[in-house]
Amino acid sequence: MQLENLYYLKTELDTQGILFSFSGPLSQTLLLEMGDTLRNKMTLEKASPSTTLKVFSMLVEQTQNIIHYSAAKKKSAYSKEAVTDGIIVVGYENGHYYVLCGNLVSNQKINSITNQLSQLQRMDKDDLKDYYKEQRRKGPHADSKGAGLGFIEMARRSSTPIEFNFQNFDERLSFFSLKTSV
């Protein structure tokens, strides 16, 4: 990127209502710092504590999703902690905050992810609550790195149905994008 283009990038982010963005290697340590920064920014913007907490929760869920499931995971030479490559964006539009995330996923996982998220899109809040309880009783899936409830949690907290997209990267990978609103 040419030096003079940085100003145009910043201007475009401001125009799009972007409060916070990060693109690059993500880790648990960085997640803590990003969360603190976002909370401070939203406090300065006079967001209510409950809204700030909801946005923070979405940031955590989506960043952990990238950390746990990104196909672009690398072992750090300086730490035991692995780093993954992804992007996370928090913005404000049409009276709502939103959290976007993106990372590479294996093309073999697209159908499974699409099925999970499409099912969640069709559920109302009561259905999501019941489904969450049902899945919690069942326990995590075999390939889950956590409780396996991340997408359900995001759908429950989102004020609109989760939006998602896949863009082909190469024969093995696609770029997975996810959006939630608060």
Give, for all 182 residues of the chain, the pLDDT tens digit: 788 899 999 999 999 999 999 999 888 888 889 999 999 999 998 999 999 999 999 999 999 888 888 887 776 666 666 678 899 999 999 999 999 999 999 999 999 999 999 999 999 999 999 999 998 888 766 665 555 688 999 999 999 999 999 999 999 999 999 999 99
Q: How many domains does the chain have?
A: 1
Q: What is the pLDDT of residue 121?
A: 96
**CATH number of the CATH domain containing 62:** 3.30.565.10
Domain of 116, in residue numbers: 5-181
Give the whole-angstrom CA distance, residue 53 versus residue 15.
24
Give the whole-angstrom CA distance, residue 8 versus residue 24.
20
Q: What is the pLDDT of residue 29?
A: 85
For residue 150, give every residue at least 6 positions away whose Cβ sits within 8 Å of its Cβ, in sequence order, or none: 61, 64, 65
Residue 129 identity (one-letter amino acid): K
Strand intervals (E) in the chain: 18-26, 73-75, 82-93, 96-106, 163-168, 173-181
Give the whole-angstrom CA distance, residue 75 versus residue 84.
9
Give the whole-angstrom CA distance, residue 117 versus residue 45.
31
What is the DSSP-derived secondary structure letter of residue 114? H
